[in-house]
Amino acid sequence: MNAGDCKQILRTWFVSGDIDRLLPEVTALRGVPQPEEFHPEGDAFIHTMLAVEAVGDGEDQRVFWAVLLHDIGKARTTFFSDGRWRAHGHAQASADSVPPVMDRLGLPELVVDVAWLVKNHQYHLSWQIREGEKLTRRQKRFTEHPLFPLLERVCAADEAGRGSSRNI
């Protein structure tokens, strides 16, 4: 199964109404606010759906599932502080929610990989590497992880999901 197959399954769940039963963690993102300077597209649900759209149809299904689930922790971690919306710890909260979701969907063999991708989907935000600088030993080791190429594609879809809002 590839990402295109997964997208079709997701569309079927929306049409049938099964989405709320199968993925309540995703539908709980409706109305979850995000800081406009980083997410002008709107709430966490709209962002997630735009990010899912950005996943290529031929992509590995682990990328699809990681993109779909990367922000599900925001429903539990989002709060307003110092004049803006924040979701500290959402990546870990999202990763912690991956096992029951994947088990519910009958995909337990993907749990470890998808949870790792979700947990690390913000790695690049903390690196702050300036042009011409080399990676630290720890950063280099991280980039050598076998899932790192998939993580880069998760991050690209996440980034593509930020922008102008559309009707989803």
- CATH number for position 92: 1.10.3210
- Residue 39 pLDDT: 80
For 29, the domain range is 3-160
pLDDT at 164 exceeding the cut of 70: no
- Overall pTM > 0.85: yes
Instruction: Look at residue 168 and tell me if it is in a domain.
Output: no
166 belongs to a structural domain: no
The verdict on residue 83 lying in a domain is yes
Nearest to 10 by CA among 49, 36, 60: 49
40 CB contacts (<8 Å, ≥6 apart)?
A: 162, 163, 164, 165
- Inform me whether the pLDDT recorded for 51 exceeds 60: yes
Residue 24 lies in a domain: yes
Does any domain span residue 167? Answer: no
- Residue 152 domain-assigned? yes
Q: What SS3 class is residue 81?
A: strand
The answer to whether residue 97 sits within a structural domain is: yes
Please give the tally of structural domains in the chain: 1
